Structure 1
Amino acid sequence: MNPRSPRPLAATPAATAVLAMVLTEGPLSRVDLARRLGISSAAVTKAARPFLDDGYLHELDSERTAPGAGRPVSPLAITPDREFVVGMKATADEVIGVVCDLKARIRASAHRSLPDCDPATVVTTLAALVDELLDADPGMRAKTRLMGLAVSGDVDRAGGLVRLSPLLGWERVDLAGPVGAATGLAVVVENDVKALTVAEHWFGEGVGTDDFTLVTVGAGIGCGIVTGGRLLSGAYGVAGEVGHVCVDASGPVCHCGARGCVEAFAATEAILGRAREVTGRDDLTLSQAAELARSGSAPVRALFSEAGTAIGLGITAIVNLVGPERIVVSGEGLDSHDLFETEIRQAYATHAFGAAARCPLTIRPLPFEEWARGAAAVGIQTLFAPARR
């Protein structure tokens, strides 16, 4: 276990449940909390009292639930600026940092370039970026004790260890310990797609759902799955690898060595590599390829269409298997979503089985700051409802 992992705020299951529900779905009255959690109003009052005393919760002005109803209620709400959480996202060439309040609203953000991906360089850059963000507001620094850190690859969240990150060229890198020592903050490390899924589940499209899925499109095709209200990791920590679902056994070779994976059609480098082949332009950029597709190049347009179909088939496989209530498709690769959104939706509508097709599908791009916000959301989740081990 990571020795610098943060301590959760709540000491009992009832307190954890009350705190997490007020955070994600509040303000809520004690009566509503008791009804939804299946506990007594007295148990809610007992669970909430320490957090009211400590300033994490506050009562809103009394209100009547209906004309002629009984005595007014005072809904419980989170105090967002009671504490702040740093969120960091490390890519192959930069670190993106944010400071969020307890409602995961971004209060400050900044970027720093990485000269290389050596772990020591990344740790030093992270520490400098933390100082830059927190030095701008001493009051914010005084209320910050926790950092969430998101990286691509196979991450051991409990141990703060990056087991494998091909994008960064890392294998078995202890990240939480050195970053904690350099910043003085408690650190929780998570896979970047899982972190983004936490942010969407707790503070975005997934609020109020027990079963939710996020798919990301970009350098890879990632997926985070929430089942029964919990982020799914699987026995080996790599659940949700929709990018390596095979959608055409005779398709192009994927970087993983298999043929026909979703990523072999739809990852940024896959689209770009194939576009360079069909155009004969080795210096072609992805934005240029997108403009060629928009301006009428049929061969390049077909590549984006194939990518959309592959993504749609991968999404359908997830929906048919786990049956989420909602699914969001996002990621930096969706800057070109106008070129393949139709194909994603067509493949989904055609292959989703039975009632699974009722799951609404939201497609939208996002800036890199949202990945860092996802890391902060993991930190907030660790405080309010720590993951089961």
Structure 2
Amino acid sequence: MRSTSRTEAFPAHTPAAAQIFTTVLSHGPLTRSEIAGRTRLSAAAVTKAVRPLIEAGYLVEDADDDARQPSLGRPANPVQVDGGRALFIGVKVTGDELIAVLTDLCCRIRVARHLPLTSRDPGAVLASITALVQELLTEADGFGVAVHGLGIAVSGDVDRAAGVVRYSPFLEWSDVPLAELASLATGLPVTVDNDVRALTVAEQWFGAGVGLSDFAVVTVGAGIGCGLVVHGHVVSGAHGVAGEIGHVAIDPAGPPCHCGNRGCVEAIAADSAIVGRIREVTGIEVADTAEAVDLAHAGNPGAREVYARAGDAIGRGIATVANLLGPERVIISGEGLAAYDLFAEQIREAFAAAAFGSAARCDLQTRPLPFEEWARGAAATAIQSFIRSDTY
């Protein structure tokens, strides 16, 4: 593979400068005084940080905006991120497919690609990721802009700081140093993170979490995941597993979970758990989630009861998050939303019953997002690493 390593560093050498750039990225265009207000930094600190970003071309100033008046002698023209200044690649890894996107610095998707996985062996998956990255690097040549980083989103226990997939049940991986391997294979700085946390970064910067200091993203589908934003920061915890509501046990006598416990939210409400339980209850050999949804929509009482139980489990899991952290909003997403009408009522009822006091005021918002958005989240983590200079 041709050399694609980043040839320049982001000209933000302090946490304040990175904070300012991220604020403009999410909320811009903004004047310097507006940036100061949002970041609670001094006007002098903002001016000092903005200048090199403009000089390097990462921020551009709109000198034609006459509607804004100068304040205290400082420039009042708004600044915004030049999305075309750099490109990034994001890859979402599922159990049977890779979804990859090429994005600009504003995380707008320019090109998207899908590639089926024929094997879950780490070496085979790495080879497929490398092939997809090479294809997107070729696409990037047409934009005439360098690719500055690669983000990879994987389900399970992922140690972002070390770049290691500690455990991914769907891929059956343990202790795979994916960031190091992918960087050697592609020549790019690589960030590896849990897929739900990556999606949460994208929602915080560009989606339903913009402007919120405390919110959560709960995903339903193959697994039950949760990303947390507390005081404006995506939280991974000391061991990288913060937000694992899929493994909150809500029924000690419930079905066994692959984590070794019983009655976890995921053991009741994940797609495979729902399909398996419907087979048991109805005696009908439904092949997959689509057939399970069709059976429930056709009015089969056993199938509908299984979905109702799943909704109750999800609602209780969300209530646990609300009780512990008190988020302003919980964004519900994931491929499992295809069946949302079958358990939406139970989710809200269980949440209302289990949420304590004012926690019940948390806004539950449904947001269907295709896997391209998860790959975009992976690209967002690469942008985040580039801004913070914390690549591996």
Q: TM tier, shorter chain?
A: over 0.9
| Aligned position for 2:155 | 152
Write the distance in 1 (CA, Å) between the matches of 2:140 and 2:13: 31
Query: Which whole-Å CA distance do the structure 1 matches of 2:77 and 2:384 have between them?
Result: 25
Task: Calculate the TM-score normalised by the size of structure 2.
Answer: 0.92
User: Are residues 1:186 and 2:177 paired?
Assistant: no
Output the CA distance in 1 between the equivalents of 2:50 and 2:244: 39
Cα deviation, residue 116, structure 1: 0.6
Distance change (3 Å), C-alpha of 1:385 and 1:212: farther
Q: Does 1:11 align with 2:13?
A: yes
Aligned residue pair count: 386
Structure 2 residue aligned with 1:208: 211
CA RMSD of aligned residues (A): 2.4
CA distance in 2, matches of 1:188, 1:239: 18
Match of 2:173 in 1: 170
| DSSP-derived class of the 2:267 partner | helix
Structure 2 residue identity aligned to 1:243: G
Partner in structure 2 of residue 108 of structure 1? 111
Change (3 A) 1:275 1:196: same
**4+ residue stretches of structure 1 with deviation over 3 A?**
4-9, 69-72, 139-142, 385-389
Contact persistence 1:79–1:102 (CA under 8 A): yes
Give the corresponding residue for 1:326: 329
Tell me how far apart the structure 1 counterparts of residues 249 and 298 of structure 2 sit (CA, whole Å). Answer: 31
Aligned twin of 2:43: 41
Q: Secondary structure at the match of 1:296?
A: coil
Query: What is the rounded CA distance, in whole Å, between the counterparts of 2:352 and 2:359 in structure 1?
Result: 10
Change (3 A) 1:281 1:385: same
Alignment of 1:300 onto 2:307 = no
Distance 1:71 1:376 in 2: 35
Structure 1: distance between partners of 2:41 and 2:368: 40
Q: Cα 1:321–1:387, aligned 2, differ >3 Å: closer, same or farther?
A: farther
- Relative to 1, partners in 2 of residues 1:199 and 1:278: Cα closer, same or farther, differing over 3 Å? same
Partner in structure 2 of residue 28 of structure 1: 30
1:259-291 Cα offsets, whole Å, 9 max, x none, are: 221112100000000111122233532211211
Does the CA-based 8 Å contact 1:9-1:383 persist in structure 2? Answer: no
SS of the residue 1:237 aligns to: coil
What is the rounded CA distance, in whole Å, between the counterparts of 1:56 and 1:372 in structure 2? Answer: 23
Decide which of 222, 226, 250 is 2:253's aligned counterpart.
Answer: 250
Which amino acid is 1:293 matched to? A
Distance in 1 of aligned mates of 2:66 and 2:247? 52
Give the Å deviation of 1:128.
0.8
Identity %: 52
Structure 1 SS opposite 2:295: helix
Structure 1 equivalent of residue 80 of structure 2:
77
Q: Is the 8 A contact 2:89 2:102 kept in 1?
A: yes
CA-CA distance at 1:72 after TM superposition: 8.0
Deviates more, 1:277-286 or 1:172-181: 277-286
Change beyond 3 A, Cα 1:143–1:388: closer
Cα 1:211–1:386 change in 2 (3 A) is farther
| Cα offsets for 1:42-97 (capped at 9, x unmatched) | 3211110111011100012323348xx99982101011111011000112222110
More divergent stretch after superposition (80-89 vs 280-289): 280-289
- Decide which of 269, 274, 292 is 1:271's aligned counterpart: 274
Q: CA deviation at 1:7?
A: 5.7
Q: 8 Å contact 2:149–2:386 — kept in the other structure?
A: no
Alignment gaps of 5+ in structure 2: none
Q: Which amino acid aligns with 1:268?
A: D
Determine helix, strand or coil for the equivalent of 1:357: helix
**8 Å contact kept, 2:23–2:38:** no
TM-score normalised by the chain length of structure 1: 0.93
CA distance in 2 between counterparts of 1:313 and 1:129 reads 39
2:89 maps to a residue whose letter is V
Q: Distance in 2 between matches of 1:206 and 1:102?
A: 19
**Partner residue of 1:317?**
320
Aligned to 1:359: 362
Residues 245 and 262 of structure 1 are in contact (CA less than 8 Å); yes or no, is this contact kept in structure 2?
Answer: yes
